[in-house]
Amino acid sequence: MNNNLQTTFKDREKKFSSELKETKSVINKLVWIRTIVGLLFLVCLALLVKTSSSIYGIALLVLIVIFIILVNYHQNFFDKKVILEQLKIINAQELQALAFDFSSFQNGTAFINSAHSFTSDLDIFGENSLYQHINRCCTLSGKKKLAQLLANSLNDKNEIESQQKLYTELSKKLDFRQNFQANGNTISENENEIDNLIAWFNDDSKFLNNTFLNIIRFLLPALIIGAMIGSYFSSKFMGITLILFFVSWGIYTLFSVKINDIHSKIGSKHSVLNKYLKLIKIINQEQFQHPKLQNLKQKLQSSEVSLNQFSKIISDFDNRLNVLVSIVLNTVFLYDFHCVFKLEKWKENNKKHIEEWLNLVALQDAYNSFGNYVFTKPSFCFPVIDNNKLEIKGSEIGHPLMKQTECIANSISFGINEKSIILTGANMSGKSTFLRSLGLNTLLALLGLPVYAKSFKTSIFNIHTSMRVTDSLNERASYFYAELSRLQEIVQKLEQGNKMLILLDEVLKGTNSDDKLSGSIELVKKFLQYECLHVIATHDLKLGELENKMPKKISNYCFESIIQENELYFDYKLGNGIAKNKNASFLMKKMKII
């Protein structure tokens, strides 16, 4: 299946490279044609001046029309070139991802939160994280939305199964997803740019309700134009015209600071708004079957017309950037005032919708990333969600962030006969990797995504882990206290009635061995009182004796190390019982430490 994906992305990269080459060729030809038209224009202009022949005047008009058409053609092909360049890059990046090089994709380090119930322990964010494997977002708000979705598993069976269908539908829309991504990638966003834009929309309007300005912006231009027309007939009106010019500039100067502030906040956002407008158009052109996607599209359909109007207003407002044009337009027509009034009127009519529109684009962006994940994981399976009983059952479970050629898959089933698993094994034998495999696949299942397994069934859980607890100098918390706080949080959630999957790696490391053992035993007994499944990875083999005391509630599993011909090996296969072999002393002797 991986070969099929490689072929797909290679073929698409070649296709877009070929189209890009042809487009560049057309652009070069258009440049030459425009140059020739420009030279012909100069020749005709010279001949017109020399001969005053009307035929050269007509030729000039024809050449101007041709030049304008050529400019539009050039812009269209240039825009096409930009998109083709992005499509070529996107497919090259997917080929890199198939080779397990995800360096082209942001890893979500900014979203790391060690206090979260599982994201830090399960490598949801950071280098080679689940976020980096999935992320194909082209908007900053989409990246934030993706992080939010990954950190919050779903808790309703019907919703999870609905999301499975949604992502399956999007997985089949390769052209749509890549076109969306390519258009979004063409325009970069600064951090908090959208947040600042939304903040402006929520600000009170400064001009719209000003009665004086509402009158003067029409009255004064009418008087100026009247005086200018009068000057044509009588020089007496010339003085009046000059006085009105000074009045116009006086009023403009009085409000110029506020106008400049509005333009600085909105004008710089024009390209980003156009980016979202492009993405909305792409969504509106696509046909969807899933009700959620249809509903998302329906909510965005009205936004396209409104955002087009907004984009046009900003484009008109940007005319002020040309100093000569700005002086003329503002002197005669108070041009900036009209633009500001249009902006604020648009804001009042649409501000209650703008945040929803942008959020919907962000949601589609995140959904597309999940759709791409489904597309690139054809060997993964969609899990069965069964919330009638407390159970996890998986066949050939692997770690989703490891290469399938290097990953050793394991099967496990618990919840029906036992609620607790004591997992023993030497260092480097695979205990922590297995915990993360179990946690990540359960999370994927509860997000509506396929899992790395031949088959997988799970109940709906709140996932809680304690695997990478660290001390905190800022909070003056020792490692041991930080770990106890983590365990306290888990117990409190259980006492509140949460159904939980708990994954612990070497609990109570911060105390002596006897205290650690007795504390671990009491912790397991505490967990058994509640509706939860839990796996505790430990080096403490005595903890495995609990199976004999509570055989129908606790089971022992292990990862063994193998010493053969003075060499240490691991098969990373999950087995029953308690681990027997120890490797610490062997390695210390081999490395001549002892």
Each residue of 373-408: pLDDT tens digit? 999 999 999 999 998 888 999 999 999 999 998 999
- pLDDT of res. 334: 92
CA distances from 413 to 9, 102, 383, 430, 574 (A): 37, 32, 14, 18, 12
User: Is the CB of residue 343 less than 8 Å from the CB of residue 146?
Assistant: no
CA distance 204 to 210: 12
- pLDDT of res. 475: 46
User: Is the CB of residue 525 less than 8 Å from the CB of residue 491?
Assistant: no
Average pLDDT value for residue range 434-448: 97
User: Is the CB of residue 90 less than 8 Å from the CB of residue 181?
Assistant: yes
- pLDDT of res. 514: 80
Average pLDDT value for residue range 488-504: 94
- pLDDT of res. 235: 77
CA distance 575 to 392: 17
Amino acid identity of residue 253, one-letter, is T
Span 269-323, pLDDT tens digits? 777 888 899 999 999 999 999 999 999 999 998 898 898 898 889 888 888 887 8
User: Which pair of structure tokens corresponds to residue 235?
Assistant: 């020089």
Query: What burial class does residue 306 get, using C-beta atoms within 10 Å of its C-beta: 0-12 exposed, 13-18 middle, 19+ buried?
Result: middle
Q: How big is the chain by its Cα radius of gyration, in Å?
A: 33
User: Is the CB of residue 453 less than 8 Å from the CB of residue 441?
Assistant: yes
Span 46-87, pLDDT tens digits? 888 888 788 887 888 898 889 889 988 888 999 999 999 999
CA distance 464 to 493: 9
3-class SS of residue 7: helix
Average pLDDT value for residue range 35-41: 91
- pLDDT of res. 468: 75
- The shares of helix, strand and coil residues in the chain, as percent rounded to the nearest 5, are 60, 10, 25
Q: Taken in order 165, 168, 172, 174, is the CA torsion positive or negative?
A: positive
User: Which pair of structure tokens corresponds to residue 175?
Assistant: 């052209």
Beta bridge partners of 212: none
3-class SS of residue 567: strand
User: Is the CB of residue 389 less than 8 Å from the CB of residue 416?
Assistant: yes
- pLDDT of res. 146: 98
- pLDDT of res. 476: 42
User: Is the CB of residue 391 less than 8 Å from the CB of residue 415?
Assistant: yes
- Whether the per-residue pLDDT at 510 is higher than 70: the answer is no
Span 344-355, pLDDT tens digits? 999 888 888 888
Confidence class of residue 471 from pLDDT cuts 50, 70 and 90?
very low
- pLDDT of res. 321: 80
CA distances from 203 to 6, 267, 270, 482, 570 (A): 50, 16, 18, 43, 63
Lowest mean pLDDT among 44-53, 266-275, 364-373, 405-414: 266-275
- Whether the per-residue pLDDT at 151 is higher than 70: the answer is yes
CA distance 510 to 479: 7
Angle value at C-alpha 115, between 423 and 124, nearest 5 degrees: 65
- Whether the per-residue pLDDT at 585 is higher than 90: the answer is no
User: Which pair of structure tokens corresponds to residue 251?
Assistant: 């009023």
Helix residue ranges, H only, 268-379: 270-285, 291-317, 323-333, 335-375
DSSP 382-425: PPEE--SS--EEEEEE--TTS-TTTPPPEEEEESSS-SEEEEEE
Query: What burial class does residue 262 get, using C-beta atoms within 10 Å of its C-beta: 0-12 exposed, 13-18 middle, 19+ buried?
Result: buried
Average pLDDT value for residue range 550-570: 82
User: Is the CB of residue 119 less than 8 Å from the CB of residue 130?
Assistant: no
- Whether the per-residue pLDDT at 97 is higher than 90: the answer is yes
189 backbone φψ class: left, alpha, beta (φ>0; ψ -120 to 50): beta
- pLDDT of res. 478: 65
In our burial notation (b when 16+ CB lie closer than 10 A, e otherwise), range 48-76 reads: beeeeeeebeebbeebeeebeebeeebee
Averaged pLDDT of the chain:
89
Average pLDDT value for residue range 355-377: 96
Beta bridge partners of 533: 501
pTM here? 0.89
Q: Which of 201, 225, 228, 236 is nearest to 334 (CA)?
A: 225
- Most confident among 45-59, 361-375, 540-554 (mean pLDDT): 361-375
Confidence class of residue 197 from pLDDT cuts 50, 70 and 90?
confident
Span 205-258, pLDDT tens digits? 889 889 999 999 999 999 999 988 887 787 778 888 899 999 999 999 999 999
User: Which pair of structure tokens corresponds to residue 314?
Assistant: 């900003």
- Whether the per-residue pLDDT at 473 is higher than 80: the answer is no
Query: What burial class does residue 254 get, using C-beta atoms within 10 Å of its C-beta: 0-12 exposed, 13-18 middle, 19+ buried?
Result: exposed
CA distance 593 to 590: 8
